[in-house]
Amino acid sequence: MSVGLVALCAFSASASPVNLSVGDGSIAIKAGKIHTLSEAGVVENAVMIVRDGRVVSVTSGGTISPGMQVIDYGSDATIIPGLVSASSGLARGWADPRTAAPGLSALDNFDFFANHISALAAGVTSTYIDPAIGRLIAGTGAVVKLGGEGREHRIVNGIAAIDGSVAADAYNTPGFWEPPVPATVDVGMGQEEPQMPHSLQGAIFALEGLLSSARGAEVEGFGPYAQNELGQAVQNGAIWRFTANTEEEIRAVARFAGRNKLELVIDGGRAADATVEMLSSAGVGVIFEPTQRLGATTNWGKGEDSSWPSLSIPAAMVKAGIPVAIAPGLSHSIDSLWALGILASQGDFSNLDALRAVTLTPAQMLGADDRVGSLGNGKDADFVVLNGAPMVASTSINATWVDGELVYTSPEIGAVVLEVDELFVGDGTVLRPGQLLMDHGRILEVGEAVAHPKGAVIIHGAAAMPGIVDALGHFGLEGSRRPPSSSVPLSRILDVRGEGAMRVAKAGVTTIALSPTSLSNNGTTMVAYKPAAENFEDLIVEDVAAVRLTWSSENRYDIGQDIIGLLERAVKYRADWAEYNAAMAAWVAPAPEAAPQAEASGEEADAEAEAEPAKEDKEDKKKKKEKDLDPLTGVWAATADWGHARFQFSDGPSAGTTELRGSLRSDALSLSLLRFEGSFDHDGDQLEVTGVAGTLTISAKLDDEKLEGTITMAGAEYSFEATRESRGYQVAARTEVRKPEASPNDPKGFPKEPRFDSDLDPLARAMAGEVAVIVTANRDDEILACVDAFEAVGIKPVILGAMDIHKVKDQVAGRIAGVLPDRWPLRSTKGIATVNRFAELQEAGIPVAFYSAAEEGASDLLLMAAYAVVEGMSPVGALRALTSDAALLLDIDDRVGRLATGLDADVLLLDRSPLEVTARVQRTWVLGREVL
Amino acid sequence: MKFLPNRTHATTLLPARTMTLLRNWTLVPGAIAASVLFGNLPSASAAVGDSIVIEAGRIITQAGEDIVDGVIVITDGRITAIGAAADVEKPWDAPVMGGPEFTVFPGFIEAHTNNGMDRPNENLDVTPFLNVRDSIDPVNFFFEDCKRWGITTLNVQQGNNTVVAGNGRVVKPVGVTVEEMTIRPDFGFKISISPKSGKSRATQRQTLNRAFGDLRSDLESQVESAKLDEELAAREALGQGREREAEEGEGRAMTGSGWKVEGLERIKRSEIDEKVLPLLEMVEGRHRTFLYCGAPMDVQTAIDFATENGLLAKATLVLDASCWKAADAIKASGLSVVLDSNMVHIEVDPITEEETETFVPSVFAEKGIPFALSSANSSTNSLWFQAALCVGYGMERTEALAAVTTAPANILGLGDTVGSLEVGKAGNLLLLSGDPLDMTSWVEFTIIDGVKIYDRSKDVRNRHLLYGVEPRGTLAIESTASETPSKIEVDGEVTEEAKGEPVEEVAEEPIEEVVEETTKKD
C-alpha cells in the first residue's frame, strides 16, 4: 500500500518498543504476508501477536485488542523468520593441538558483547558457531542468537554438534609434543607423537577409535581427555557434524554414521549431488556451502581432485528428500547468507525452498527449531521484514526483530523504486512492466528491472508518467496583471510550496512556464519553475526559458515591424558581444619593454595585472577618506549639565596622521586653558588625549559629526557631547601628499565591453538556441511573415494561437519549434465536421503542447488532454503534448518532460494508464520528494 | 628547605647482613654509586627507637577530615601520632622535616603491575611453581620512578600472557635486594581468562579446566591408592594379629569453598607434587588470585571459573577498559577490580561510524564496585594523574583519591597497614608541593616506613632533564672534541681526570634551594 506509511511505522517502531507500559506488553505486527514456516504456512493479510519476546499467534486479519501496540508494515511487506546460518566463523579460534578435542566449546570463544549489527541487518538472527577448524574433531559447536539480552537466553543450543572434518583440512594435524617440566636427566625432552589422520581412511579409523573410546573402550593416541569429553558430548545429545566435500568423503562419513547409528550432518557437500541416493536413504542432512566466491574471480577444475562447483546441488538434494541448509562457507561471512540463499535457488529450487534452507532446515538440523527457524506459537519472535517476496534479488530487508524487539531498521536513504504495470516514458515509449529508481532528486534508472538499493522504498502501482509541463501558464502571479519589467527577473516573485502549488502538483503539473499576463513590446521573458519544489534552490528550472512576443496586431500596416526592428537590434547586440568576446580571447597584455628597464616596467606590468582586485580595494579606502579627510580640526563646543566646554583641535589629524594637539577651555573645569596631546584612530573614529600638564584625559568617539566621550579631570569624570562649530585652523592641517591614483581606464587596446541589454539579451540567446521564443500569430499570413522574420535571424519560433496554421502547416513544418494551438482543440470544417487541431499538427510533424494560460487552472491540463483524446487525438500524442513535447518546445527537455536517467525525478503515479481519460493522479513526486 | 634529617652515609644505612651479601656482588660499588647518584638512599629500616616528626600545612589522611597545620610522628616506621600541631606532642630529640608549604598524602598504592621484572611471563601455560621473586630487579628504573612519583606499595604479579602464572609479591620500591623490598612475600597468583598468545578463548578455558581438573583427578587417585595402602596395611596387621598403628594427622583435610577431594588428609602435603601444590592451595582459598579479563566476554567465564574452583572469596579481576560492559555481572559476583591504565573505552558504531566514549572508572563507581586504578608504568599515567583524570571526568574527588590509596590497600588485604595516615599504620607518606591532583605539584619527599627515600632536590635525573644539571660523577663528554677531555664532577668540584686540561667552570646550579650533599669520600 503506502510506503510513506511503512516508513512512518518503521520509525515509530524504532522509537517505541521500549514503551510497553500500556496493556499487557503485547505487540501486534501487521504485514501483507507472513511466511511462518510452521503448519500455518503463508498467512496473508497477517497479524502477528508478540508478547515477552515470543510469538503468541499469527493469524490472517486477526483481532487486535485495545492497549496493544500496533506496528503496521503495510500490505507490501512480507515477514519471514529470522535467518539461521548453519555455519559461521564468529567463534572460530585456534585449534587444539590434539587431533580430537571434543571438550573445546565454541561458546567459550563467542563474544556475547560483540555488536553483530551487520549480520542482523542482513537478516541473520541466529547462527551456528564452531570453535575451530582443521581437526578431526575440533570441538563442540553451538547455536546462538546474534541479538537479545542475557547470555543464557542467547544460547539456543549450547552443545549442538560434535564438530569435525574428514576432509583434507583435517589431514595436516601436527604431531603432538608437550615438553616435560622440568626436563631432567631422568625425564627426557620426549618427541613428537604423530597424530592421525593423514588420509580419509585414517580419519574414519580414528573416528571409530574415538567413538569406541567414548563408549568405554581403551584407545590410545588421543590424549587423556578426548575419551571423557567425547562421552560427555554424546551424552548431551550432540549430533555429529562433519565437513566432507568429495564424493568419497561424503560416502565414507555417511557409512561411518550409519554403522554406528549416529545422527549426521554433512557440512560443505560440494559433491553431494553424486551421493543423493545414499544420503537420502541414510537420512543424512547436508549443509551446503557454496564455494563460489562472491565478488571475486576464481578458477575451478585445474587440480587433479578439484571439481567444478555447482549451485544446482541443493535443488537435486531437495528433490531427493534430503534436508538441505544453505550456509556461508569459509570465504563468506554470514552477512552474505541472504545472497547465497538466492544464488542457490538454481534448478528446481524454488524461492520457498531457499527460504526454508536458510531458516527452518538449519534450525531443525542443529536442534534449535524449538526456538528459532519458524514463527509458530511460542517461538522466539525473531523475524525479518522484507519489502517484497522472500529470496528474490530485488527484495531488501526493511527491519530485523529479535525477541520482539526491533534491532535493525534500514536507514532511510531516500531512494524510491516505482514498480508499475505500465511506465510511460513520455516520449511515446511505454515499458510494460516498468521500474524506475529515483534518488537525490534525479531519476537514476528506468527499465523493466532496475537496481533496488538496500533501504529503498518500493512502491507498486498501475502506471507512472513524467510530471506534466504547463507550456504557458500564469500560476505564481497571484493575480497580478502588472506589465513586467525585463530588468527584474520574474523568478523574484516566485514562492515555494504554497497551498495552490501543492494542489496543482497533485493534479500532476510539476513544471510551469510562467508568463506575465501583460506583455512588453520588447519581449517578455518567461521563467520555467516547479511550484512544488521544496526550496528556492530547486525552484527554478530555467530563469529565462522563453521570450514572448506578439506578431498579431490590429494595425496591419506596421504589423511585425516592431519585432523585426527588435530582432535587428538583437542581431547587432549579439554581433557586438561576439566581437567583444573574440577580441577578449585574442587580447594579450602589452609586452614589457626592453631589457634594461624591464625591472621597473615589469613591476608596473605586475601591478597592472593585479590592478583588478587592488583597484576595488583602493576605491574602498578612498571612499572612507572622502567621508571627511580632516574630521576634527576646528572648534567643537559642548554643553553638559556640569558646564560648557570648547575644544580646539589645532593640529588635527588629517588623512594619514593620527597625532593630535589641541586645547580645552572650560570654566567649570579650570580657569586656565588646558592643552592636550594624543591620537585619533581613523578606523574606529576614536579619540584619546592626555593633558600636557596635570591630570587631564579625554576619551571620545566621533560619530556622525558628533564627538561623544568623557573628560577625566582630577579623578572626576565629565561626559560630554560636542558638535563642530567651525573648521578653523584648517591652515594647520598638513598638506596631503597624495600619489595620483592609477587611472581606472583599461590599458590601451583593451576591448571595450558592450552594454548589457536585458531586452535584447534573451533574443540574442535565442539565436544561439538557448532560449525559446513564443510568438503570438494567428492568421496564416502573419504566421508566414513571422516565421520568415525569425528564420532570417536563425530562430525557430513557437507559434502561439496559430488559428490558421493548418493552412500553412506544410510551409512552416521544420521551420518552427512547435505550436501552442488555441486551447479549444476543435476547428470546424465544412459545417459540422470538426478537426482536432492538436492531432492535425502532430500528424504534420509539428510538436504541440497543452498549456493552461491560467493560474490554478493549470490543474486542468490532464483533463484538457483527456478532452482532446475524446475528440480524436492520439492518447500517446496527448501524453507527449503534456510532457516531452512541452519540455522540448521550451528547450527544458534536459531537465523535465521524460522519465529518463539523469532527468529531474518529477514522477506521477496513476491508478490506470494515462491514456485512459478516466486516469487520475494518485501520487506526485517533485525532484524525488513526494508532494503530500 | 632548612631541614634535611637523617643525612647519613649510605653505607651506614645498610645492615651488616646486606653488606655481607653485597660483598660477593661484583657490581656493589656501582650500585652504591648509583644510589648516591640518584639521591635516593635506600634504607632497609629506620634504627629502632628512631622517631621522625613531619609537619605540613595540610595532611590529607584519607581517613576522615584533612588536618590543617598538622604533625605526624613516626616511630619505628609506624605512625604513632597524627593531628593538629597543637594536639600532638613532638619528641624533643626527633628530627623534624616538612613545613607549612607542604601537603602530606599517603603513598600511592599500585594494586597490580607487571613492571620491575626482567620479563613478565614464562612461555609455559601453567606455571604456579614460578615466583616473581626471581624476576624482580631492585635497580630497575621502574622502582626509581615509583619513588619519584610517590608509589610506595606495589603488587608485582606476572604478566597477562599466561594461563596460570607464578607467585606474585607485594613490595615497596626501596631496598637493594628483593627480600629487603618485600612487604608480602609469595602473594597472589595471576590467572588469565583471556587467551595467551597462540590460544583461543576456548583452548585457554580448556587449559584452565584441565589444570584444575587434572589436579583433582590426580589427588583423587592419590587418595585412592593411599586408601588401598592403608587397607593393605590393616589386612597385614590383621594377618599378623597386631594392632595397626594409627596414622592419623599426617595430612590435612581439604578446605575451601570449591570442589573437595574427600580423604585428602590421608596424604601428607609434602607428598603432593610441588608443581601443582599452589593450585591446591588456591582451591583451598589460601591464595589471592588476580583474574585477568581482556574483554567483557571473559568476565562471566572468570566468575564461573572462580566459583567452580573456590577462588571467589580471594579473587580480584584485572580488567581491560572494555570490561565495563560486564559491570553488572561483576557487581553480582561481589568481586573487586583493578582497572586498566587506559580508562577511556571508545567504540565505533559499525553502521553510523559514531564514536561512543565511556569513562570506565565512572561506571564502576556508579555501580558501587570496589576498584583500584593502575598506571601503565609509573612515569606515564602515574597514579596521581589517573586519579586527576577521574576527577576531570566528573568523579568525586574522594572516590578518585581512594582508588589510588585505600581501595588498592583493601584489595591487597593491606587495609590496616597502608593506604591512609592513621596511628598504627606504616609511615608511608609523601610531602607534596601542593594538592596531590594538581598538575603542578611535585613529590618533594617520599617517606617509607618513616625513612626518607626520595628528595626531589637531589633527584639527579630530574634535575638533568629539567634544568640541564650534569649528574655528578658522570663523564661530561664534549661533542666537538676529537679527544674526549674527561672530567669528573665530584661533590660540586670539577677535577681533571687526565691530561691536565684546563678546568672548566661548571654551570651555576639554577635551583637556589639545593643543599649540597656533604658526603665525604673515604
pLDDT at B271: 87
Is residue B507 pLDDT above 60, yes or no? no
Whether B29 and chain A come into contact, CB under 8 Å, resolves to no
- The least confident of A225-234, B244-253, B256-265 is B244-253
pLDDT at A605: 46
Cβ–Cβ gap A115/B325 under 8 Å: no
Is residue A797 pLDDT above 70, yes or no? yes
Is residue A877 pLDDT above 80, yes or no? yes
Cell representation of residue A51: 508478547
Compute the distance between CA of residue A864 and CA of residue A858 in angstroms, rounded to an integer.
10
Burial (Cβ within 10 Å: 0-12, 13-18, ≥19) of residue B1: middle
pLDDT at B8: 41
Residue of higher predicted confidence among B514 and A104: A104
Q: If residue A605 lies in a helix (H) or strand (E), which one and from where to where?
A: helix A598-609
Task: Report which residue type is found at B85.
Answer: A
Burial (Cβ within 10 Å: 0-12, 13-18, ≥19) of residue A121: buried
Name the DSSP letter for residue B502.
P
Cβ–Cβ gap A113/B322 under 8 Å: yes
Instruction: Determine the residue among B129, B193, B196, B203 to mutate to test chain A binding: the one whose Cβ has the most chain A Cβ atoms within 10 Å.
Output: B203
Domains of chain A: 3-82+379-409 (2.30.40.10), 84-182+190-295+307-365 (3.20.20.140), 418-464+903-932 (2.30.40.10), 468-571+757-896 (3.20.20.140), 631-732 (2.40.128.620)
- How far lies B119's CA from each of A735, A846, B362, in Å? 85, 92, 32
Which residues does A595 contact at the CB level (< 8 Å), separation at least 6? none
Whether B322 and chain A come into contact, CB under 8 Å, resolves to yes
Query: Chain B: residue nearest A140 by CA?
Result: B202
CA torsion, ordered A315, A321, A323, A327, to nearest 10 deg? -10
Cβ–Cβ gap B301/A108 under 8 Å: yes
CB atoms within 10 A of CB A834: 14
Compute the distance between CA of residue A491 and CA of residue A533 in angstroms, rounded to an integer.
13
Burial (Cβ within 10 Å: 0-12, 13-18, ≥19) of residue B74: buried
Strand order in the sheet with A124-129: A83-85, A124-129, A137-145, A155-165, A239-244, A264-268, A285-288, A324-326
Report which of B413, B390, B394, B393 is spatially closest to residue B402, judged by C-alpha positions.
Answer: B390
Let me know the angle formed at the C-alpha of B200 by A266 and B340, rounded to the nearest 5 degrees: 145
- Tell me what ipTM this predicted complex has: 0.74
Name the DSSP letter for residue A817.
S
pLDDT at A591: 65
Compute the distance between CA of residue B136 and CA of residue B118 in angstroms, rounded to an integer.
7
Cβ–Cβ gap B206/A103 under 8 Å: yes
Which residues does A347 contact at the CB level (< 8 Å), separation at least 6? A311, A312, A314, A315, A316
Size of interface A-B (CB pairs under 8 A): 69
pLDDT at B46: 44
pLDDT at B444: 95
Cβ–Cβ gap B203/A112 under 8 Å: no
Query: Chain B: residue nearest A96 by CA?
Result: B203
Per-residue pLDDT tens over the stretch A500-548:
888 889 889 999 999 888 887 778 888 899 988 888 878 888 888 898 9
Task: Name the CA radius of gyration of chain A, rounded.
Answer: 44
pLDDT at A15: 40
Concatenating the DSSP letter of every residue in B151-195 gives EEEEEE---SSSSEEEE-EEE-S--SSHHHHEEESS--EEEE-SP
Do B39 and B460 contact (CB within 8 A), yes or no? yes
Report which of A632, A692, A627, A690 is spatially closest to residue A658, judged by C-alpha positions.
Answer: A632
Whether B274 and chain A come into contact, CB under 8 Å, resolves to no
Q: How confident is the model at residue A31 (pLDDT cuts 50, 70, 90)?
A: very high
Report which of A192, A197, A195 is spatially closest to residue A164, judged by C-alpha positions.
Answer: A197
Distance, C-alpha A134 to centroid of its chain: 45
Cβ–Cβ gap A103/B350 under 8 Å: no
Cβ–Cβ gap A115/B350 under 8 Å: yes
The bridge status of strand B336-338 relative to strand B371-372 is: parallel
Q: How far is B343 from chain A (nearest CA, A)?
A: 19
Query: Chain B: residue nearest A108 by CA?
Result: B202
Whether B498 and chain A come into contact, CB under 8 Å, resolves to no
Buried b (16+ CB within 10 A) or exposed e, B91-127: eeebbbbbeeebbbbbbbbbbbbbbbbeebbbeebbb
Percent of chain A with pLDDT over 70: 87
Cβ–Cβ gap B322/A109 under 8 Å: no
Percent of chain B with pLDDT over 70: 79
Whether B199 and chain A come into contact, CB under 8 Å, resolves to yes
Q: Helices A760-767 and A561-586 sit at what angle, rounded to 10 degrees?
A: 70
Per-residue pLDDT tens over the stretch A705-731:
788 888 887 778 888 888 887 776 544
Cβ–Cβ gap B296/A113 under 8 Å: yes
Q: How confident is the model at residue B485 (pLDDT cuts 50, 70, 90)?
A: very low
pLDDT at B4: 43
Whether B195 and chain A come into contact, CB under 8 Å, resolves to yes
Is residue B179 pLDDT above 80, yes or no? yes
Compute the distance between CA of residue B434 and CA of residue B421 in angstroms, rounded to an integer.
17
Q: Which chain B residues are within 8 Å of A108, Cβ to Cβ? A: 200-202, 204-206, 301
Cell representation of residue B15: 645492615
Q: How confident is the model at residue B100 (pLDDT cuts 50, 70, 90)?
A: very high
Domains of chain B: 10-107+419-460 (2.30.40.10), 109-206+279-416 (3.20.20.140)
Is residue B314 pLDDT above 60, yes or no? yes
Per-residue pLDDT tens over the stretch B1-17:
444 444 444 444 444 44
Distance, C-alpha B430 to centroid of its chain: 16
E strands, A682-770, are 686-691, 696-703, 706-713, 716-726
Mean pLDDT of chain A: 83
Cβ–Cβ gap A117/B199 under 8 Å: no
The bridge status of strand A818-821 relative to strand A674-681 is: unpaired
Q: How far is A109 from chain B (nearest CA, A)?
A: 5
Query: Chain A: residue nearest B323 by CA?
Result: A113
Cβ–Cβ gap A105/B124 under 8 Å: no
E strands, B288-442, are 289-293, 315-319, 336-338, 344-348, 355-359, 371-372, 429-432
Whether B217 and chain A come into contact, CB under 8 Å, resolves to no
Burial (Cβ within 10 Å: 0-12, 13-18, ≥19) of residue B169: buried
Cβ–Cβ gap A181/B326 under 8 Å: no
Nearest CB among B200, B322, B351 relative to A109 is that of: B200
Phi, psi of A376 (to 5 degrees): -90, 180
Burial (Cβ within 10 Å: 0-12, 13-18, ≥19) of residue A458: buried
Whether B353 and chain A come into contact, CB under 8 Å, resolves to no
Whether B355 and chain A come into contact, CB under 8 Å, resolves to no
Q: Which chain B residues are within 8 Å of A131, Cβ to Cβ? A: 200, 202
- In chain A, % helix, strand, coil (3-state, to 5) comes to 25, 30, 45
Q: Which chain B residues are within 8 Å of A223, Cβ to Cβ? A: none
- How far lies A438's CA from each of A409, A429, A899, A908, in Å? 21, 19, 10, 12
The bridge status of strand A921-926 relative to strand A907-910 is: antiparallel
Per-residue pLDDT tens over the stretch A425-463:
988 889 999 999 998 889 999 999 998 887 788 888 999
Q: Which chain B residues are within 8 Å of A103, Cβ to Cβ? A: 206, 209
Report which of B455, B155, B486 is spatially closest to residue B290, judged by C-alpha positions.
Answer: B155
Nearest CB among B124, B203, B210 relative to A93 is that of: B203
Query: Chain B: residue nearest A182 by CA?
Result: B275
pLDDT at A436: 94
Instruction: Determine the residue among A94, A187, A227 to mutate to test chain B binding: the one whose Cβ has the most chain B Cβ atoms within 10 Å.
Output: A94
Q: How far is B284 from chain A (nearest CA, A)?
A: 24
Which residues does A190 contact at the CB level (< 8 Å), separation at least 6? A177, A178, A179, A180
Strand order in the sheet with B182-184: B108-113, B151-156, B169-171, B182-184
Task: Please give the average per-residue pLDDT across B270-280, as a whole number.
Answer: 89
Buried b (16+ CB within 10 A) or exposed e, B26-56: eeeeebbebbbebbbbbbbbbeeebbbbbbb
Q: How confident is the model at residue B246 (pLDDT cuts 50, 70, 90)?
A: low
Task: Report which residue type is found at B287.
Answer: H
Query: Chain B: residue nearest A105 by CA?
Result: B202
Per-residue pLDDT tens over the stretch A726-761:
776 544 333 444 555 544 555 666 777 788 887 888
Per-residue pLDDT tens over the stretch A103-121:
999 999 999 999 899 999 9
Per-residue pLDDT tens over the stretch A624-673:
445 566 777 778 888 888 888 888 877 666 666 777 778 887 777 777 77
Is residue B351 pLDDT above 80, yes or no? no
Q: Which chain A residues are within 8 Å of B210, Cβ to Cβ? A: 225
CB atoms within 10 A of CB A695: 11
pLDDT at B511: 46
Whether B349 and chain A come into contact, CB under 8 Å, resolves to yes
